[in-house]
Structure 1
Amino acid sequence: MTTKTIGILVTGHSPAELTDEYGNYADMFAALLGKFDFTFKRFFVVDGEFPESPNEADGWLLTGSKFGVYEDHEWIRKLEDFIRQVHAAKVPMVGICFGHQVMAKALGGHVEKFKGGWSAGPVTYKRSDTGEEQVLLAWHQDQVIKVPEGAEVVGKTDACENAVIRYGDWGLSYQPHPEFSPRFFEGLAEARKAAIPEPLFEQVKKVEVPIATDKIAQEIGEFFTRDR
């Protein structure tokens, strides 16, 4: 079987003080999917580095970011165009957090800051497709409020109705961060604690519950390797 190439579209930079130990977001996804026979190409779209074609990879993965998809940045609009090109070319795509949101927006959905505030730390996701409950690490205030036509919501939380979305055989996206280890998350929370309310930081600064990392890694890997 031919080794598949996964293009990682990096939409943000991890905190500088954590990079030496944990790498950047592309490194985390390469580690997450390490059991699969993938090669990875990294494109720092946040810095204006884009692929030339949707067919430059066998699958595409969109990372998280500190930016909002509704912000007026040229690279975000260009990324939305590229997502539509990938969709038209039927090259599979997976999105995480910002990636989840920008996929939805590019295809006609709507994203905004959730009036109920932040979701951060270990959160239980209820999956309608598998019937499972999965604890994963969240770090977001923005949410997909309106899902694109034809997309199916297959995961939600008490505070996030559209947390896992399937786009038929083409796309799969998650609001939480399966690539974050508990120790990285603790470092991230400390580095960016000014962004969230102090009482919430006190609740999430230590991760002490099992996280369903392996389950989601398997799901993403199988999604990319599926016959189409």
Structure 2
Amino acid sequence: MRIGILQTGDAPADLRPESGDYPDMFQRLLDGRGFTFRTWRVVDLEFPATVHEADGWLITGSRHGAYEDHAFIPPLEAFIRDIHAARVPLVGVCFGHQIIAQALGGRVEKFAGGWSVGPTDYRFGDETLTLNAWHQDQVVAPPPGARTVAQSDFCAHAALAYDDRAFTVQAHPEFPDAFIRGLIRTRGKGVVPDPLLAGAEARMGPPNSAGRLADHIADFFTAPRQA
């Protein structure tokens, strides 16, 4: 199965030699599950010709806000709507979670409650998954037809399911602890309050449920669908 990665931002340059860029992280996350990958840098207005150039799509995180005025956002929203209409499976992570919701009629805001950083517990029904977070923006009103399937104490709509068409999460299962430490060093200081950064550092280490969420994403991509 070919997964098309729609890249909407870049990892910090001084972290890329060790971590790779965002598409590299997702390929590692989903390694061994039978997928091949191709990346389109939609942040640079590189878009696929059609929604059928991949069997499934994944939208990455970004430092940009979904509600901001960037040239790539309107065509990305249009492409999301085309994917949804064609019933090609779509996964969104962090910014991807937000832009999919916005494109389909939801609302995204810079959350007045501040930041969520580092290991965070998310309630997926009866299961609690610990996943790394790095965000202030969040979906505050899901679009029509979306169902909230996970919450945290900070984020009311931490994962959304759009029947068998899309599955999106606010957390970053692709970010290992080492990358969060790098973000604290390169993007956190002076932006995220110091007590939150210190708390994130203190919580790092097992357990981390990234593998469990990777299984869920893989199951979503490969599930049988209506013709």
TM bin, normalised by shorter chain, reads over 0.9
State the Cα distance separating 1:226 from its structure 2 match. Answer: 1.0
Matched, 1:213 2:210: yes
Matched, 1:184 2:182: no
**Aligned residue number for residue 57 of structure 2:** 60
State the Cα distance separating 1:157 from its structure 2 match. Answer: 0.6
Q: Which residue identity is paired with 1:122? A: P
Matched, 1:200 2:196: yes
**Aligned residue number for residue 31 of structure 2:** 34
**Aligned residue number for residue 170 of structure 2:** 175
Q: Which residue identity is paired with 2:26? A: F
Q: Which residue identity is paired with 1:134? A: L
Cα separation, 2, equivalents of 1:26 and 1:57:
15
1:31-61 residue CA offsets vs partner (Å, 9 max, x unmatched): 1100111110101111111111001100000
| TM-score, structure 1 normalization | 0.96
Tell me the secondary structure at the aligned position of residue 74 of structure 1: coil
Tell me the secondary structure at the aligned position of residue 14 of structure 2: helix
Cα separation, 2, equivalents of 1:15 and 1:210:
26
1:8 to 5, 9, 22: 5
**Aligned residue number for residue 81 of structure 1:** 78
Q: Which residue identity is paired with 1:17? A: D
Which 10-residue stretch deviates more, 216-225 or 204-213?
204-213
Cα separation, 2, equivalents of 1:77 and 1:199:
36
State the Cα distance separating 1:71 from its structure 2 match. Answer: 0.3
| TM-score, structure 2 normalization | 0.96
Cα separation, 1, equivalents of 2:92 and 2:24:
16
**Aligned residue number for residue 91 of structure 1:** 88
Which aligned pairs between 1:27-176 and structure 2 lie closer than 5 A? 27-128=24-125, 131-176=126-171
Structure 1: segments with no counterpart, 5+ residues: none
Cα separation, 1, equivalents of 2:130 and 2:35:
26
Tell me the secondary structure at the aligned position of residue 190 of structure 1: helix
- Sequence identity (%): 50
Q: After the TM superposition, which parts of structure 1 deviate over 2 Å for at least 4 consecutive aligned residues?
A: none
Cα separation, 1, equivalents of 2:68 and 2:213:
29
CA RMSD of aligned residues (A): 0.9
Contact 1:190-1:205 within 8 A present in 2 as well: no
Which 10-residue stretch deviates more, 100-109 or 178-187?
178-187
Q: Which residue identity is paired with 2:25? A: M
Cα separation, 2, equivalents of 1:144 and 1:62:
15
Contact 1:122-1:209 within 8 A present in 2 as well: no
Q: Which residue identity is paired with 2:5? A: I
Cα separation, 2, equivalents of 1:196 and 1:134:
24
State the Cα distance separating 1:195 from its structure 2 match. Answer: 2.2
Structure 2: segments with no counterpart, 5+ residues: none
Cα separation, 1, equivalents of 2:88 and 2:205:
38
Q: Which residue identity is paired with 2:181? A: E
